[in-house]
Structure 1
Amino acid sequence: MDKMHKEEAVKTTYHEDTTSTDGSSTAEYDPWNPPYPPCPPAVGLSLSDSIRLVAKWSREKEAAIGAIRASSIIFPDRIPKEVNHVFYDRVHHLAPILDKDSVRRFLRFFRGNGAGMQWGSIITPEALNHMIAQNAVKCVKAALEGQAPELDGCRAGPNCMNQYGYYPLHRAAELFSVDMIQLLIRHGASANLRTAGAEVIEGLLPLHVAVENTCMHKYLEDSLFPNHEHRDYSEADAHFIFKLIHLLCLPEMKIFLDSTRLIAKHTDNLLDELWNYIKDGKLAETAVLLLAAQEQIRMGTSCKKIGNSKADGFQVIYKCIMDNSIKLQSEKGQNLMEKEELETKIKLRHTAMMLVHVISKAGEGLESYIRNHLEAPHFMQVPCLEVLERVSSILKDHGFSPAPECVDIRNLCPYHDVLSSEEIPRKPGESVADREALEMDYLRTVVNKISKP
């Protein structure tokens, strides 16, 4: 993470508080160690009453501190490694509970194994991370609310960084779980916190995770970048743009665009993030964000780098690309050593300008079509011909007529290594029932593989 991102992270993590327990001014408020009132004096009380008073004060103090920790931004992770080690020793018992998303069994497990799942009256970020990873929405909801008696006042914090340097919303974005993303945001998760630390790519927002993981989908990589290891946008043109749009309108892409749309709705300075993708020449990422977040872009959003404009964001971005293209053109005449690189950048700006223009005109029709998709299972045959005809029709209605041969998406292969029913090895003496069970297990394996693009 660069210096600016680190400074922003610190600013969002801590906030000023002018008072302390003794009334003096404090320069910085630490949500992990917030001020709390001292124990009231036990004047005139018996020994037993004094003990009860101290015990009551201690419980209330721990509950108050835990509530503050769970509702604040905690950066970095402050859970002792030993606590996480205890959790790792027991997590294999928790996994089947989370698979079934059984709140009752989760609470019972927590009561007996809380030592590895809690610290300082909060459910540890690592425990929450595992719950999100298994998409146990009901269990996560119970952990965020912290109301169940079995939790004994413990709660999970939606903005507590884990030991690897990312937050719960980053994990949910990675898994494209719309229900989990909605749940976290509803309980106060911020979409504007960035990753930090040596074990993660620094400076990533949840939005970046959603957008860039979407662009790793097999359909995009196979169709746009046959050589996965060397992405090259330098040859991108109108054909590239129209094929990219058709691919993003496939039913299988709906969940990725839905997740990105939801996160973008809560991300500040959205146009800045869009401009960064355009400036870096990342056309697929630009298309994903333009298509998924077009409602916010049309409304106009404040942004730091390219002006606090409330105008239509498509117009703002379009003008920004034009100004940058003019600047690159002038530099090309002055610097012959970098002429080829500058020409590539100029071409990418022109292609990005076309992409912005197409989605600004046809985006609402495309989004309506995408939102009406059914949640098609990945292993079902994709109605590519229907998508091709419908998307081409929407584009044509707005003045764009891509050549059919340039946007052909009928030969998509969801995955490479699927065996036919006849090719699955049959064991000696295997019954028909055993065979069907084997095929269903294999199908589940395939679905799990391709659901993580």
Structure 2
Amino acid sequence: MLEREIKIAKSMANDIIIPDPAPKFVGDAFLDIYAKLEHILVKDSVRCFLRFFENCEGQGMSSYLTITAQTLTFIVGFNALRCAKVVLEGMAPELYGMHANPNCINKYGYFVLHEAAERFSVDMIKLLLCHGASANVRTVGNDVIENLLPLHVAVENTCLHKYLEDNLEDNPSRSQNHEDYVYKLIHLLCLPEMKIFLDTIRLLAEKTNNLLEELWNYIEDGKIIQSAVLLLAAQEQIRGVSSSKINGSSKKNGFEIIEKCITRHSYALRNEKGSLGMAQELLEERKTLNDCAWLLVDVISHAGEDLSAYIQAHSVVRCFRYIAAAVPLMPFT
């Protein structure tokens, strides 16, 4: 590579890039080296990775003076922290000044932070954020569920945890005692095995814009488990959030803002007249879900800090992922 090209490569900014600029032939070339690269990333060997990159002159792994999003996604998928650090920094001579942009979308329509969030890799998320990855990028295209933030990926996959699926009704409105449902949900989220999931969500929530809006969307849609997960994990951010978008308030305590939104929503539901049959049944279900959401917010706003301290004090050394064998949220590989 010419000295001028190396200089240009070093100056490449980590701007958000959509769509993936890598030509199809680069992706095809990547498939040819897939197996060899996999063997290297399993070991997370920087020395082997750099030697491999140099020997193949970056073919299949670089395009337009940058390391491709597909390559970085593959590295993150194997949680190869050392290799990820090297390509994000771009300081190794074997890379010819090139580095990976964590804000470049891949050909499948998602970003590397989505990949790290899907795998609940706290250390990888920290590394990506340290190198400028945005937590406010969203999925795009026909190959993914569109408009998802990395935060959404972590929250939704947490809700697929075996403990939650095996011990809770899909819909709290079908539970005989709504208070018991809410308290049981909070209890399950405080189990040591849930810590890695909550830590991942907390880390992403710290960097996610308009956090209250994302929380309110879950509550308004009646997604109680998702609401509980985000409330418990991101309570510190919620307590200090101000928002003018969802209610025109500049009050600093996000819990108070959300409680007011739930109260207004409750009044609206009670003034709404359902027709005979299913419409009335759905209206009652929405009222129940709204009541559950209010109880959740009330409990976590008052006891959340103590619950968080309990989770940290009773964490286990190793947390296992009990993700149910369901349809994947996104076609991550």
**Do the aligned partners of 1:270 and 1:303 also contact (CA within 8 Å) in 2?**
no
Find the counterpart in structure 2 of residue 60 from structure 1: 7
Write out aligned runs for 1:51-450 (5 A).
56-64=3-11, 67-68=12-13, 71-113=14-56, 114-225=58-169, 231-236=170-175, 237-302=178-243, 304-307=245-248, 309-332=250-273, 335=275, 338-377=279-318
AA in 2 matched with 1:139? C
Greater relative contact order (Cα < 8 A, sep 6+)? 2
**Do the aligned partners of 1:269 and 1:301 also contact (CA within 8 Å) in 2?**
no
Q: Distance in 2 between matches of 1:305 and 1:112?
A: 55
Number of aligned positions between the proteins: 319
**Structure 2 stretches lacking a partner, 5+ long:** 325-331
Q: Distance in 2 between matches of 1:232 and 1:267?
A: 28
Q: Offset of 1:121 from its aligned partner? A: 1.1
Report the 3-state secondary structure (helix = DSSP H, G, I; strand = E; otherwise coil) of the residue aligned with 1:130: helix
**Do the aligned partners of 2:242 and 2:254 also contact (CA within 8 Å) in 1?**
yes
Q: Offset of 1:57 from its aligned partner? A: 4.2
Render the CA deviation track for 1:303-338: whole Å, top value 9, x for unaligned: 5333353421111000100001101111126x5562
**Do the aligned partners of 1:252 and 1:376 also contact (CA within 8 Å) in 2?**
no
Q: Distance in 2 between matches of 1:221 and 1:314?
A: 27
**Do the aligned partners of 1:272 and 1:306 also contact (CA within 8 Å) in 2?**
no
Q: Would the alpha carbon gap of residues 283 and 58 (structure 1) be closer, same or farther in structure 2, given more than 3 Å must change?
A: closer
Render the CA deviation track for 1:68-126: whole Å, top value 9, x for unaligned: 3xx11101111111111111111111112111111111111111221110001111111
AA in 1 matched with 2:126? Q
Q: Offset of 1:62 from its aligned partner? A: 4.9
Q: Offset of 1:204 from its aligned partner? A: 0.2
Q: Would the alpha carbon gap of residues 133 and 58 (structure 1) be closer, same or farther in structure 2, given more than 3 Å must change?
A: closer
Identity, in percent, stands at 54
Report the 3-state secondary structure (helix = DSSP H, G, I; strand = E; otherwise coil) of the residue aligned with 1:115: coil
Render the CA deviation track for 1:400-439: whole Å, top value 9, x for unaligned: xxxxxxxxxxxxxx799xxxxxxxxxxxxxxxxxxxxxxx
TM-score of the two chains, using structure 2 as the length reference: 0.91
Report the 3-state secondary structure (helix = DSSP H, G, I; strand = E; otherwise coil) of the residue aligned with 2:272: helix
**Do the aligned partners of 1:271 and 1:303 also contact (CA within 8 Å) in 2?**
no
Report the 3-state secondary structure (helix = DSSP H, G, I; strand = E; otherwise coil) of the residue aligned with 1:318: helix
Render the CA deviation track for 1:23-48: whole Å, top value 9, x for unaligned: xxxxxxxxxxxxxxxxxxxxxxxxxx
TM-score of the two chains, using structure 1 as the length reference: 0.67
Q: Would the alpha carbon gap of residues 181 and 246 (structure 1) be closer, same or farther in structure 2, given more than 3 Å must change?
A: same
Report the 3-state secondary structure (helix = DSSP H, G, I; strand = E; otherwise coil) of the residue aligned with 2:138: coil
Q: Offset of 1:376 from its aligned partner? A: 3.7
Report the 3-state secondary structure (helix = DSSP H, G, I; strand = E; otherwise coil) of the residue aligned with 2:139: coil
Report the 3-state secondary structure (helix = DSSP H, G, I; strand = E; otherwise coil) of the residue aligned with 2:173: coil
Q: Distance in 2 between matches of 1:415 and 1:200?
A: 19
Q: Distance in 2 between matches of 1:310 and 1:180?
A: 34
Q: Distance in 1 between matches of 2:193 and 2:129?
A: 24
Q: Offset of 1:340 from its aligned partner? A: 1.8
Q: Distance in 2 between matches of 1:125 and 1:57?
A: 23
Report the 3-state secondary structure (helix = DSSP H, G, I; strand = E; otherwise coil) of the residue aligned with 2:194: helix
**Structure 1 stretches lacking a partner, 5+ long:** 1-54, 226-230, 380-413, 417-451
AA in 2 matched with 1:204? L
Q: Would the alpha carbon gap of residues 224 and 58 (structure 1) be closer, same or farther in structure 2, given more than 3 Å must change?
A: closer
Render the CA deviation track for 1:243-284: whole Å, top value 9, x for unaligned: 111111111100000000000000000000000000111111
Q: Distance in 2 between matches of 1:187 and 1:365?
A: 33
**Do the aligned partners of 2:54 and 2:95 also contact (CA within 8 Å) in 1?**
yes
AA in 1 matched with 2:75? M
Worse-superposed segment, 165-174 or 82-91: 82-91
Q: Distance in 2 between matches of 1:142 and 1:262?
A: 22
